Structure 1
Amino acid sequence: MPAPAHPHHLHLTLANGLRVSLRHAPRLKRCAAVLRVAAGSHDVPLTWPGLAHFLEHLLFLGTERFPTGEGLMAYVQRHGGQVNASTRERTTEFFFELPVSTFGDGLERLADMLTHPRLTLEDQLREREVLHAEFVAWSQDAKAQQHVALLEGLAADHPLRGFHAGNRDSLPVEREAFQQALQAFHAHFYQGGQMTLSLAGPQSLAELEALAQRFSEELTSGPLRPQDAPPALMTGTARRYQHVDKDHLHHVITCDAPREALDFLCLWLNAPATGGLLAELKTRQLATALHASVLYHFAGQAVLDIDFTVEAHSDSATQIGTLLHDWLSFFAHSDWTPLREELALLNARQQQILGALALARNDSEDLSEHAVTGLKAMLDSLHLQPSQHTWQLPPNNPFLRPPAKEERAGLIRGQTSAHRGLRTFAQDRSRGRRELPALTFSQALADDGDEGALYLHWRFESDACAGLENSLQPLREDARQAGVELSFEVIGKDWRVKMIGLHEPMPAVLEALAHSLNQPQEAPPPPLPVIAIRALLKALPACCAGTNPETREEPVSWATARWQGFGLGLPVTCEAAIKAAAVRLPGQPATLEFKLPGLSGQRVWHEVKTDSDEAALLLFCPAPSQSLDDEAAWRLLGHLLQGPFYQRLRVELQLGYAVFSGVRQISGQTGLMFGVQSPSVSLEGIVDHLRTFFEQLPALIDNSEDLGNLPLAQQFAAQGLPVAQAAELLWHAHVAGHPSDYLARLQQAIQSLTPKDLQHAVQRLQDASGGWRCVANGPPINDFWQTAS
């Protein structure tokens, strides 16, 4: 088995106790930081459930040095990065990603907000309402409540059974005892010895270490304080139980195996290949899906959940349990050497492809001997009987290894040099068949790296089927492991497939895609419930295309389907292999038009049903035209108003926990998008707040000393854009008919905008020159809106 080698990875412990993990990856275009505090919701005094989550929120509300408008969140958003935080059972994470030039300033803001939070009573009262809104949504969310029910088999006194989200009742900020507890929790845990900082970027390890050192100097020093060990997961000698919830059967196992060992088990347990557990369950019509995951891991305690999606008519928990234990027995007595080699290849590939933030968060390791011992002990503790079924270990992922090369280059498979005349003729004929004018390759993205992108677009005579991608999930997972993200999108009569990542496996992935699409389609599974605003986001592209957002379930006809492809950043050898594979794609190559129906100043309302009664609304405002000048004005306007929109509707008005704005592109059309989901305000009230905000935009521009032209323009510099982001921009530019130097022209257009230009853009936004498209989970609020047909 190959020895793990991470020459660009360094672990350190600094003088103030801060543990540091540094990853140098020259291929990265951005930098990322992940700060993990060894304290979470289970470390809070029982009197104040939700305090850890509450503190996480409060830390983002500004400090004396960096007020809200200059704090980490506003700074990262202004420079086109991403930022967030998460409170788990025993850890709290803060993470962000930024361009190299601004990364140090981001770290400075992170250190300041962790060390010097403002924690004013006014901020706490406002933020408590936000947490209460999240709590209301959580209490109404079916998936969240199913998770609560799943854990009822654990011991009643274990903190996993407790309430930790926080609400008005559990966060009495007016009481002095609560304030003392909040301050004590922050002082006890938010110091260097309790923290781990992970940095990833293109800088050298020495540069990253210097950044980490400067960060640590801003923190309070302190020791690593042990977190209290929790009580037993289950009472007595019990170590596992079953939980049934509608069409899901859960087998829950509690154990003390290492996390890496359980992740290794889940990887192979979830494999859908022939000869595995899922394949056998499908053959027997006992289950349609299987998902094994680690729900909890801390201080020698682990909860493993094996979730089976059972057939509607199935009442065979015993049969499923028997097959599960039989497979586990087979796995326990198998030779894991080839699986460990496969895992090493998988981890190496992920190191090669992950973006900065994912790389900073990645702690996957090859399976150690300690983990092997722990996993075998865990399986032995289940007292499994000898396996009675003929199982097979999953085959190797075909995309993790380079494609086999022909023994003699230039010859068709099976021919020798004696066939050179035939070879030339045959190749000429083959070349003619493979010249696909519908498959084009752009030079707008340099092909000197390891990554590229391929977009494939089909158009059917009737609405596309939601089940098109159902049978492609195994392929999608294999491709992801090999470094190619495969995604799908249904937009009315159109279906788009996107491949982004390492270009080496792409031809093989395309071959497998073509093979799968030529097979009979599977029926789509019932849609999973999602929060209302996400349902609206999913429906938006179809609404913009003027089609029904509810996709049909009947199989599509490939006979009359037409398709078109567009590649970016792919070397010539990869292009040739992709062309050869593309001839097997179903449907006819064609040149497709992507022009979306114009709104011509109309204000159109689309009603979409959701699982939630909370008011949810998306307002999409397309630019008046597809010119680069209009796109630049719309982008700068979106850049300028993002922070104030969040501040006004989320922080000051407290409309809800889901409040956002930004620029969205749909089939080449650029628009401003505003989203709100509120537990307390009606759709009419949300629209009123949006219109009031629009009326305040002229004053916002007048009062802005800097519109932000330069930092926004820098976000579109080709040399600083990750391949996935650059490819998406260039795909939409291609659809919109822009030239190949689109990025450079867009930068110039943004930099040349004046306050007068932006005021003109605001006027056109208010007048709905490009139209307004509202997607909401209720009917039109008045006659001002035109109901979508």
Structure 2
Amino acid sequence: MPALNPPRPHTETLANGLRVTLRHAPNLKRCAAALRVAAGSHDVPLAWPGLAHFLEHLLFLGTERFPAEQGLMAYVQGHGGQVNARTSERTTDFFFELPPQVFNGGLQRLSDMLAHPRMNLDDQLREREVLHAEFVAWSQDPTAQQQLALFDGLSPTHPLRGFHAGNRDSLPVQQPEFQQALQDFHQRFYQTGQMTLSLAGPQSIEELKQMALTFGAVISVGENLPQQAPVALMESSVASYQQAGERRLDLLFTFEALPNASTEALAFLCHWLNAAKPGGLLTVLRECGLAEHLNAKPLYQFAGQAVLHVEFTTTASASVLSEKLLDWLGFFAAQQDWALLRDEYAAVLQRQQQVSSALQLARLDSEQLETGLSEQGVAALKDILKKIGAVDNFSGEWQLPTPNPFLRAEAPPSNAGLIRGQTSKHRGLRTFAQDRSRSRRENSPMQFSLALPDNTAEGAIYLRWRLESKPQPRHQQSLENRLQPLREDARQAGVDFSFSASGNEWLLKMTGLQESMLTVLEHALKELTSPDAGFSQEEPNSAALIPIKQLLKALPDHCLEQSSVADDLQQLWSTARWEGLAIGLSAQTQAAMGFALSRVPGIADTQPSSPSSINGQRLWTTLDTGSSEHALLLFCPTATKDISDEAAWRLLAHICQTPFYQRLRVELQLGYAVFSALRQVHGQTGVLFGVQSPSVAPLNLLQHMEEFLNDLPAMIDGIDEATFVAQRQALTDQFQIAALPVAQAAELLWQGKLAGHSSDYLAQLPQAILDIDRSALRAAAQRLIKAEGGWRGLASGSQPEAPWQVAK
């Protein structure tokens, strides 16, 4: 298993003024581009607030060369990639990720839409309504308004106090003056001197540079334009302020004239402020009963200015917490250049890069941050602490946070034969090495998949428990609270894990570096089954979700049969039936896995389970989202578990994605959150349609969805043969094993196991998709329309009439 040293990106400025960062990472399965424009919402003329955000939206509406249905968003989604954009205070970012063989097509579309936006007036009017709907939702979102209110202590003349989202009133698109301002903003900032292009992928630096040159040849050439520096953050000499609310305290520190390395210095400081481990600030505050949660992060950084936000969940007085924080910062400032903390911080960042996707790496490179705290960063941090008022005459008996144990995990033993720690309840557990030496086939609760190579640094482990009853929600929350410090340590060491509940099932999922995974697994199982586990009454510290996200979070729970609720956690564990799947693990890691699995609670389950079926039924669940906005999810599973049915449903979802968005969002303007996608839930494969709307009720949204589905057969017949073949091939290419990142392949294999598919499921799926011809797809569309596999609706409003019925 190779030890990966994350490569440093190559950085240069091309002859036309375009700055580029190029990262050659041979382990990546995807390529990504992140384009940063040095212009944002604070660079807009005062007369037109929201213009920068509006322009970002307009650029996605298509060009003469690439109309919307062939533009970047449709292209990326059609090839199974990711795409998005973001307008910030002083920057605008566009980013996408694609398989290598189609990456150039994405770059062509990105450069064309940036250089040649269509700016059609009718398009602008429609898109303004979308922005207005977003503005209405934002203005009614308590979390968003709370974040905005954090700036209330700043000078009223600073742009952070202004309105920048854009709405119907601030964007008078029919006025010539506004159109001139829009054109001027685009011409001034959307040129090479204001842009940084970051590319990451398995290609060589020379190949990536050629892509950057081709991209830059389309963009207008220009020089870097200094962005106007804002006024002072504060009107007086006071550089901090506080805001207190119910069980909440916000401390805000403002800075002027910071050195260039202050960005890395603030990131380093926040990392250690947020460390929830023995010796850290939060642990001491919890022990003293002063705070339950702490979160520190910079809210704003530009031109030597910064705003640092330290948020506490607490009922203690502001003065006591402020005193404790400053005392800890004094202790922190007294550490001699933070040598030990810098070493661990650099190791954390290195691990994070090892497991980062191409998109994450490209976006990281566009920030141009150091991979640690440099000597310049040390000087900047000292300056920051001095400006906060941290002095080294602290009074508390503080300690440095304990080192992360997973950053120095022991390598698995080289002997891949016997499984250490195997017990009678795990009889049948075996490694691939043992499999190859035996001719007999045995059932095992933990299966080791051969679908992925076992010589890479990454792997995945899934453990599922089926419980006799549904656990009390407080048990789930309590277990998650207990796991949170462990999750953070694991994440820093390159292992991402989650512990989730759906109905009467619990799922522990781990992906990331094998180097630390088994040690993390052992610690997680120990925490889950400790005698006092499940009795913490600590409340969750999470932001409220928008309605459509609430429905998405609830969907898995409603796809399982409902059961009674039990309160005895230890009884639930003792009678739970468990099974698992390990993917991509080396022989050495498999050999070392027995001890970890000896800690798994419950009874080994070797009997495969099949997902519950709702064939022919239309089931409706109404959920109170606590919002005036409306939302609807429609989940349409396959009628059978046959892989040919799954292949047909995947092709249907692939073909529906752009037309569904185009009709319901662009043409009908029903809402701003509009999507359709293939979704697998507990082994059920289905097409999922979703809409959130500020004005259209769920029953009307359902009617629009049904009209779209009824048009599906005609839409399929209207696709020309060349396009049909190309779309089918594009979908097939997404499931070639060699092109799948480990985490994505692992999730597919897990869902395949739950659905009862054979172990070569991933090898069969691409061919099954290629076997779907037009008549088979048309027949699949008819089965979907007739709800042969059932329809499941989750909505913020009451159910329609028969044949719909209320889900039990």
Verify the 8 A CA contact 1:531 1:611 in the aligned structure 2: no
| Greater mean deviation of Cα atoms: 185-194 or 277-286 | 277-286
Partner of 2:674: 659
Letter in 1 for 2:375: E
Give the Cα–Cα distance (whole angstroms) in 1 for the partners of residues 50 and 422 of structure 2.
66
| Greater mean deviation of Cα atoms: 381-390 or 299-308 | 381-390
Give the Cα–Cα distance (whole angstroms) in 2 for the partners of residues 745 and 379 of structure 1.
59
Partner of 1:184: 184
Deviations 1:276-296 (A, max 9, x none): 211111112221111100110
Give the Cα–Cα distance (whole angstroms) in 2 for the partners of residues 547 and 304 of structure 1.
46
Give the Cα–Cα distance (whole angstroms) in 2 for the partners of residues 47 and 103 of structure 1.
39
Deviations 1:554-581 (A, max 9, x none): 8563222232221010011101222211
Partner of 2:26: 26
Verify the 8 A CA contact 1:594 1:667 in the aligned structure 2: no
**1:6–1:571 CA distance, 2 compared to 1 (3 A):** closer
| Greater mean deviation of Cα atoms: 108-117 or 6-15 | 6-15
Deviation of the 1:378 alpha carbon: 1.6
Alignment of 1:334-483 (within 5 A): 334-335=335-336, 336-363=338-365, 364-365=369-370, 366-384=372-390, 386-403=393-410, 435=427, 436=429, 437-464=444-471, 465-467=475-477, 468-483=479-494
Partner of 1:273: 277
| Greater mean deviation of Cα atoms: 716-725 or 428-437 | 428-437
Paired residue total: 767
Partner of 2:755: 736
- 2:287 aligned residue (276, 283, 295): 283
Verify the 8 A CA contact 1:261 1:374 in the aligned structure 2: yes
For structure 2, which runs of at least 5 residues remain unmatched after alignment? 430-443
Alignment of 1:262-661 (within 5 A): 262-310=266-314, 314-335=315-336, 336-363=338-365, 364-365=369-370, 366-384=372-390, 386-403=393-410, 435=427, 436=429, 437-464=444-471, 465-467=475-477, 468-519=479-530, 520-521=533-534, 522-523=536-537, 525-526=539-540, 528-547=543-562, 555=569, 557-591=572-606, 593-661=608-676
Verify the 8 A CA contact 1:622 1:672 in the aligned structure 2: yes
Deviations 1:392-450 (A, max 9, x none): 111221111241788xx989xxxxxxxxxxxx9x9998576754431221111211211
Give the Cα–Cα distance (whole angstroms) in 1 for the partners of residues 562 and 169 of structure 2.
45
Give the Cα–Cα distance (whole angstroms) in 1 for the partners of residues 108 and 67 of structure 2.
13
Deviation of the 1:81 alpha carbon: 0.6
Verify the 8 A CA contact 2:559 2:682 in the aligned structure 1: no
Please state if 1:748 is matched with 2:767.
yes
**1:538–1:717 CA distance, 2 compared to 1 (3 A):** same
Deviations 1:39-81 (A, max 9, x none): 0011001111100000000000000011111111111111111
Verify the 8 A CA contact 2:454 2:585 in the aligned structure 1: yes
**1:573–1:616 CA distance, 2 compared to 1 (3 A):** same
Partner of 1:724: 743
Please state if 1:688 is matched with 2:703.
yes
Please state if 1:196 is matched with 2:215.
no
Please state if 1:679 is matched with 2:690.
no
Verify the 8 A CA contact 2:415 2:588 in the aligned structure 1: no
Structure 1: 4+ residue segments shifted above 6 A: 426-429, 550-554
- 2:788 aligned residue (765, 769, 783): 769
Give the Cα–Cα distance (whole angstroms) in 2 for the partners of residues 402 and 285 of structure 1.
33
Partner of 1:415: none
Deviation of the 1:9 alpha carbon: 1.8
Deviation of the 1:523 alpha carbon: 2.9
Deviation of the 1:387 alpha carbon: 1.2
Deviations 1:722-746 (A, max 9, x none): 1111111111111112122212211
Letter in 2 for 1:616: A
Partner of 2:79: 79
Letter in 1 for 2:461: L
Letter in 2 for 1:347: L
Verify the 8 A CA contact 1:146 1:245 in the aligned structure 2: no
**1:610–1:629 CA distance, 2 compared to 1 (3 A):** same
Deviation of the 1:594 alpha carbon: 3.8
Verify the 8 A CA contact 2:636 2:792 in the aligned structure 1: yes
SS at match of 1:48: coil
Give the Cα–Cα distance (whole angstroms) in 2 for the partners of residues 110 and 494 of structure 1.
43
Verify the 8 A CA contact 2:330 2:390 in the aligned structure 1: yes
Give the Cα–Cα distance (whole angstroms) in 2 for the partners of residues 410 and 22 of structure 1.
40
Alignment of 1:3-18 (within 5 A): 8-18=8-18
| Greater mean deviation of Cα atoms: 689-698 or 736-745 | 736-745
Give the Cα–Cα distance (whole angstroms) in 2 for the partners of residues 763 and 132 of structure 1.
37
Give the Cα–Cα distance (whole angstroms) in 1 for the partners of residues 497 and 421 of structure 2.
32
| Greater mean deviation of Cα atoms: 284-293 or 132-141 | 284-293
Letter in 1 for 2:761: Y
Identity, in percent, stands at 54
Verify the 8 A CA contact 2:55 2:182 in the aligned structure 1: yes
Deviations 1:315-341 (A, max 9, x none): 422211111111111000013000111
Verify the 8 A CA contact 1:529 1:611 in the aligned structure 2: no
For structure 1, which runs of at least 5 residues remain unmatched after alignment? 412-423
Give the Cα–Cα distance (whole angstroms) in 1 for the partners of residues 412 and 397 of structure 2.
34
Partner of 1:175: 175
Deviation of the 1:390 alpha carbon: 1.0
Q: TM-score, normalised by structure 2?
A: 0.92
Verify the 8 A CA contact 2:618 2:790 in the aligned structure 1: yes
Letter in 2 for 1:726: A
Verify the 8 A CA contact 1:564 1:589 in the aligned structure 2: yes
**1:261–1:5 CA distance, 2 compared to 1 (3 A):** farther
Letter in 2 for 1:720: A
SS at match of 1:86: strand
Verify the 8 A CA contact 1:524 1:553 in the aligned structure 2: no
Alpha-carbon RMSD: 2.1
Letter in 1 for 2:743: A
Please state if 1:213 is matched with 2:225.
no
SS at match of 2:497: strand
Letter in 1 for 2:307: V
Give the Cα–Cα distance (whole angstroms) in 1 for the partners of residues 411 and 610 of structure 2.
42
Deviation of the 1:6 alpha carbon: 6.6
Deviations 1:322-376 (A, max 9, x none): 1111111100001300011111111221222111000111144221111111111
Verify the 8 A CA contact 1:153 1:241 in the aligned structure 2: yes
Deviation of the 1:263 alpha carbon: 0.5
Partner of 2:776: 757
Deviation of the 1:246 alpha carbon: 2.1
Deviation of the 1:255 alpha carbon: 1.6
